[in-house]
Structure 1
Amino acid sequence: MGNTRKPLKRHKSIQPFSREHHQGLLLCWKIRKGIQNGVSYKKIKKYNDWFFENHLKPHFDDEEKYMFPVLGDNHEMIKKALSEHRRLTRLFGETTSLEKTINHIEEELDRHIRFEERELFMLIQEKATPEELKKIDEFHQELDFIENTKDKYWE
């Protein structure tokens, strides 16, 4: 049993961001499954584009608007997260070298989400004042995930 991770306790105002992260991790799984099943990268790209516009981009915007100010723009973890947001945005916008790009998206999105969940959100939760947590809770509306069922390439 030795190396099992304990579930992370999240403040209720941060939980919606963690639930949104779950959808991002599912995207990584879908990409891996599609590649494993020999689905065309063009088809995977089409779904990724939809996911980015409808879920990931608004999620990044909300993190930057409501969560990151708790630590400030000059904090090393915030600089890292913002840099990763920019890198992922560029990757999702890439239209050439799809095989390489999609593999990078899968790897980097997974790594980014795990960094935010295990390190950044834990620190934000520790440092946030009750007023800041209340503001996050009041202003961030969890993004309802409605699946794009037109082309479930991972099934």
Structure 2
Amino acid sequence: MTTPLKRHENLKPLSRDHHHGLLLCWKITVGLKNGVEQERIKGYLDYFFSSQLVPHFQFEEAEVFPLLGEDHPMVERALKEHRRLKELFHTSLDTPALRAIEIELNRHIRFEERELFTEIQRVVPEEKIRQIDNKEKKILTPDPDDWADKFWT
């Protein structure tokens, strides 16, 4: 059994966002498994991308990644994955693209949680990590489940 990761208090809002991202992956899987029309899934993905992922990526890129530096290999990887995910969300979103989003978003979130955030907690001084504690005040995003067509239920 894996020991749960102890997340710094100031990174917890980002981890909550990651939880919602993992739920999105699950929703895609359920939608495809249940034969939900791709347009219904795409509608939710468009909403989730603009209301959740874009602000989250922007916050990470402006406030979190600079703590390690833009030339840190983990930051380079995270930025590359952000670009790839943005490309995927702007595709036609057929079944292969939906599956790619589900797989790559899941992989990206687990990388940030298990490796990138752990590295930040290991090498960045406490006072610097405290500077990112206003994420909830800076980014007021709607509830990701505030969507009428709950195709995943």
d(CA) in 2 for partners of 1:128 and 1:140? 18
TM-score normalised by the chain length of structure 2: 0.93
Q: Describe the superposition over 1:39-98 as per-residue Cα deviations: whole angstroms up to 9, x where unpaired.
A: 011211110000000001111111111110111110111000000000000100112x51
d(CA) in 2 for partners of 1:126 and 1:31? 34
TM-score normalised by the chain length of structure 1: 0.92
Match of 2:114 among 114, 118, 122: 118
Runs of 4+ that moved beyond 3 A: 142-145
- Match in the other structure for 1:134: 130
Aligned-pair CA distance for 1:21: 0.3
- Match in the other structure for 1:79: 76
Deviates more, 1:22-31 or 1:58-67: 58-67
State the one-letter code of the partner of 1:121.
Answer: F
2:51 touches 2:141 (CA, 8 Å); kept in 1?
A: no
User: Size of the alignment, in residue pairs?
Assistant: 150
- Match in the other structure for 2:102: 106
* % identical equivalent positions: 49
Q: What is the root-mean-square deviation of aligned Cα atoms in Å? A: 1.3
What 5-or-longer segments of structure 2 have no aligned partner? none
- Match in the other structure for 1:45: 42
